């Protein structure tokens, strides 16, 4: 809609500044501010972390959920923390067990009662990237998720396998399954796919249909995005792949939608 404002033109890759031109004499600031207000209202209604958690449970057809186990990672990862934050906001912090495979779990997401640093939660080696690089890269969004959760000292994160076998939690959520999926074999043995959610959200998706199809055998897959073709190619030329398709699909021209989210893949029977 913004591209169609009087005085605006758009050509080429939308990630490049030179693709946009603006004629200030024809451009309407009032129309722009009206659109911005609508987007902000849309975000408050549909795109908060709590709304995302609610959307996930509704998509899975689950009602009456009272507890959740959220597997996250010990890393500055916005999607993983926001998924955990959303479930804590929706169900209540005491009813959500967050577990990372490097303790203490996600210390930066909590309000600090003691002086600690992210280095007490060493990030796993991932694609050979120096861990310090994540600090600078995430600094722009850190203010939206660091130290936003009350630090519950009595969260029991022990004996996860045994508690999974007892089905202690109503739903199991892998907040970043493509990077960390601990106890996956235990979850597969004791939880039906209808009660397992796997969030995939790498910044540079590999277009790996087999990986998504494999996860779909375990539970509902919530895919942030998955492109086919060169990762450094123009974003507008990317195709979106889905496991059930015989080939990748070219997305249609964007049109206004009441809710805009990535694709969801239901568990395979």
Structure confidence by residue, pLDDT tens digits, 136-179? 444 444 445 555 555 555 678 889 999 999 999 999 999 988 88
pLDDT tops 50 at residue 242: no
Token representation of residue 109: 């997401």
pLDDT of residue 158: 86
Sequence-separated (6 or more) residues with CB below 8 Å from residue 56? 173, 197, 220, 222
Task: Taking residues 249-254, report their average pLDDT.
Answer: 37
pLDDT of residue 60: 93
pLDDT of residue 208: 58
Q: How far is CA 265 from CA 18, 178, 201, in A?
A: 37, 15, 14
pLDDT of residue 136: 40
Express as a percent the part of the chain with pLDDT over 90.
24
Domains (ranges, CATH) in the chain? 2-45 (no CATH), 48-265 (3.40.50)
pLDDT tops 50 at residue 243: no
Please, which pLDDT band fits residue 22 given cuts at 50, 70 and 90? confident
pLDDT tops 60 at residue 78: yes
**Mean pLDDT comparison of 40-44, 132-136, 193-197, 224-228, highest-scoring range:** 193-197
Higher pLDDT, 141 or 59: 59
Express as a percent the part of the chain with pLDDT over 70.
57
Average pLDDT along the chain: 70
pLDDT of residue 18: 73
pTM of the model: 0.67
pLDDT tops 90 at residue 207: no
């Amino acid at each position: 809609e913004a591209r169609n404002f009087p005085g605006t033109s758009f050509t080429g890759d939308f990630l490049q500044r030179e693709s946009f031109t603006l004629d200030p004499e024809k451009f309407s600031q009032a129309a722009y501010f009206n659109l911005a207000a609508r987007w902000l209202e849309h975000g408050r209604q549909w795109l908060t972390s709590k709304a995302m958690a609610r959307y996930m449970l509704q998509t899975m057809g689950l009602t009456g959920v009272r507890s959740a186990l959220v597997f996250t990672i010990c890393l500055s990862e916005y999607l993983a923390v926001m998924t955990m934050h959303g479930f804590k906001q929706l169900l209540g912090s005491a009813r959500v067990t967050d577990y990372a495979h490097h303790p203490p779990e996600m210390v930066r997401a909590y309000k600090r009662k003691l002086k600690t640093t992210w280095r007490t939660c060493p990030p796993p080696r991932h694609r050979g990237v120096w861990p310090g690089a994540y600090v600078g890269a995430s600094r722009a969004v850190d203010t939206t998720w660091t130290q936003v959760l009350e630090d519950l000292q009595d969260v029991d994160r022990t004996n996860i396998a045994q508690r999974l076998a007892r089905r202690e939690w109503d739903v199991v959520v892998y907040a970043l399954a493509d990077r960390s999926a601990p106890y996956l074999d235990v979850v597969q043995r004791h939880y039906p796919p209808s009660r397992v959610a796997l969030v995939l959200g790498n910044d540079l998706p590999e277009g790996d249909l087999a990986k998504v199809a494999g996860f779909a055998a375990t539970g509902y897959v919530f895919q942030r995005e998955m492109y086919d073709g060169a990762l450094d190619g123009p974003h507008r030329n990317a195709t979106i792949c889905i496991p059930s398709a015989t080939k990748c699909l070219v997305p249609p021209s964007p049109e206004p939608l009441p809710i805009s989210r990535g694709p969801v893949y239901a568990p395979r029977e």
